With several copies, the nearest count.
Chain A
Amino acid sequence: MPVNRDTVLDWMRRFAGEMAEHRAELVRLDTAIGDGDHGTNMDRGMRKALERLDSADQADAGAVLKTVAMALVSTVGGAAGPLYGTLFLQMGGALAGRDEVDLDGYVEAWRKGLQGVQTRGKAEPGDKTMVDALVPAVDAMERAPDLDTALKEAVDAAERGTRDTIPMVARKGRASYLGERSRGHQDPGATSTYYLYRSAAEALGG
């Protein structure tokens, strides 16, 4: 599949579906080491994003992602709102004005998005945040020979990265208040990022 307006729209719809479906799971993960709202937040935000996507035509893939970004920023709140908002805003900027992008363009957009998240949140790998899913996924995509492989490897890498957050002691976000007690729990934001890669593989792959 090409990466264009329609497939990215499909991606966002699938991601919204994942957030609705896994809402309770994300709430449970966030209850253990945070304040129990990550699933509710992401679901609320992605529902609003779909509303906006439905109500106005989008010029291109970049416009789709910017619309999602603005919806998240103005309806999610918390840490996830600005972080996912920034991710999609940066990615959208990279894709703006282009009908279709290839592997390089796609990976470049992720690289920009990741940079945005790290600039806003100041998290490094190992801090037990969504960055721990993003970094290995983007790295894996950069090594991939073609888009399909990139999409699949990103899912695997994000899944591993997410699982790797379990033994970590959180140093950023709400979980950091728990200190040692945050160990042994999977990070909710990394988990939602894993679902983002999964829906990308479905919508943009093969």
Chain B
Amino acid sequence: MKKLINAPDAVVQDALRGMEAAHGDRLRVSYDPAFVVRVDAPVEGKVGLVSGGGSGHEPMHGGFVGPGMLDAACPGEVFTSPTPDQMEAATKAVNGGAGVLHIVKNYTGDVMNFDMAADLGRGEGIEVESVLTNDDVAVEDSLYTAGRRGVGVTVLLEKICGGAAEDRRSLADVAELGRRVNANGRSMGMALTPCITPASGDPSFELGDNEIEIGIGIHGEPGRFREETRSAAEVAERLAGPIVDDLPFNSGDRVLAFVNGMGGTPLIELYVMYGEVARLLGDRGIQIERNLIGNYITSLEMQGCSITLLRLDDEMIRYWDAPVDTPGLRWGV
């Protein structure tokens, strides 16, 4: 394992130190319990947005803290959901009197820890609501399973709800909007290579020289199946096909198309992929109104990509376009 780190169990702490050194004018960092918060939190009268999850997905979530997006983010250990005390502390730190929204990706650990944190927060008299993302069409869904994972839609939801919260919309409104975003978004991912967590030092799975893994998550979990390497056009079909069929996205729908790198994929390849996705959607009469291309929800150094489509309505577009000023997304300011 070769990584630019000092020690496997110091990675999260050291990266937080780097965040504070780089963005101390805009973010405050608490080390114990660990969370990153807007320097001007709590913002009086604004719904506070708290997200969190395992580390190793940067810029998500810490890189999305700032005006127009999250108020605070709780980083867990690499690929391990954070703990209720972090979330509770963050919740208190961002409570400006209008309530706090927890944005939770649907993983057993994240859900249980955020549940406990929400109970703790409510115990302190803070109004806490939760929105769950579960957009990964690679996962079979049923009443008896843990359901679909939350992946790419989380980024879009954090931006759009961030815009609404900045606009002083109520907790109920922001939560409802978040649920609408989740309901209208679908994702799927693939990997060319595994990733290696600092703590384990081993690849998360083994892939042959001519194999790719389809339907991966963002924690180095293996995917639904593996197959021979294919052209970018075929990979785009492989991912976007099930996404389009699942919602389904129909001719005439306006969408945000998000081509996300898993962390180790060169940007030039993401643009090749975007070109294929645009062609494919064009063929089906689906209209791309907005797009996002880059490494936003990653799995350490994994090579591969995910595609997320979000069916847009006017409100979503308005809050997507609204100013945002975070280390990871920045426009309009």
Contact = CB atoms under 8 A, between A and B. Distances in A.
Interface of B: 9, 33, 54, 76-85, 107-109, 112-113, 115-116, 136, 138-140, 142, 144-146, 149, 197, 199-200, 202, 204-205, 217, 219-222, 224-225
B199 A27 contact: yes
A27 B200 contact: yes
Interface stretch (A54-62, A102-110, A167-175): A167-175
Interface string A143-177: 00000000000000000000000000001111011
User: Chain B interface secondary structure, helix, strand, loop or mixed?
Assistant: loop
A44 B77 contact: yes
Contacts of A41: 77, 80
A206 interface: no
A77 B217 contact: no
A140 interface: no
Contact of B146 (A36, A81, A83, A173): A173
Contact of A40 (B144, B199, B217): B199
Closest 9 CB pairs of A and B: A35-B219, A78-B109, A82-B112, A79-B109, A40-B199, A79-B108, A78-B80, A77-B76, A77-B80
25 contacts: A28-B202, A31-B200, A35-B54, A35-B79, A35-B197, A35-B204, A35-B220, A36-B204, A37-B78, A44-B9, A73-B85, A73-B116, A74-B84, A76-B83, A77-B76, A77-B113, A79-B107, A80-B109, A81-B109, A82-B115, A171-B145, A172-B146, A174-B108, A176-B146, A178-B222
Interface of A: 27-28, 31, 33-37, 40-41, 44, 73-83, 120-121, 127, 171-174, 176-179, 181
Contacts, number: 127
Contacts of B219: 34-35, 174
Contacts of A37: 77-80, 197, 199-200
B147 to A, nearest CB: 8
Contacts of A44: 9, 77
A73 B220 CA distance: 24
A75 B76 CA distance: 9
Contacts of A81: 81, 83, 109, 112-113
B221 A78 contact: no
